[in-house]
Amino acid sequence: MDNGRQVTQEEAQRLNLRRRAATRRRRIARWSAMALLAVAVSGWIGYTTLGFANRLNPPESDISADSAVGDWPMFQRNPAHSGFVSDDVAVPEGTVVWQFETA
């Protein structure tokens, strides 16, 4: 202890308070940085998972799934698969092509 600097009681208290204040500032800065990082990471995760980044671009064409008059583009005619036709359509006449006798 002979090589150490001699300080008075008041000076020791002042140095101790300064050291505590510096420790407190470092602790606050460290926790603030961790909180900021946590907010940034959770914001980024929320942004990507809630769909804000996954929005689809609007269609670039005017293709429609609605059927034109007399058109049957899919099974049961339309996306609702109703099979209903409100248009005047010709009823096929139909002829027997072949028969099978069972008796």
For the chain, domain boundaries: 7-56
3-state secondary structure the chain: CCCCCCCCHHHHHHHHHHHHHHHHHHHHHHHHHHHHHHHHHHHHHHHHHCCCCCCCCCCCCCCCCCCCCCCCCCCCCCCCCCCCCCCCCCCCCCCCCCCCCCC
Q: Kindly report the pTM of this predicted structure.
A: 0.43
Per-residue pLDDT of the chain (103 residues; tens, 9 = 90+): 567 788 899 999 999 999 999 999 999 999 999 999 999 999 988 888 876 656 777 777 777 766 677 777 788 877 788 888 777 777 778 888 899 998 7
Say if residues 84 and 77 touch (Cβ distance below 8 Å).
yes
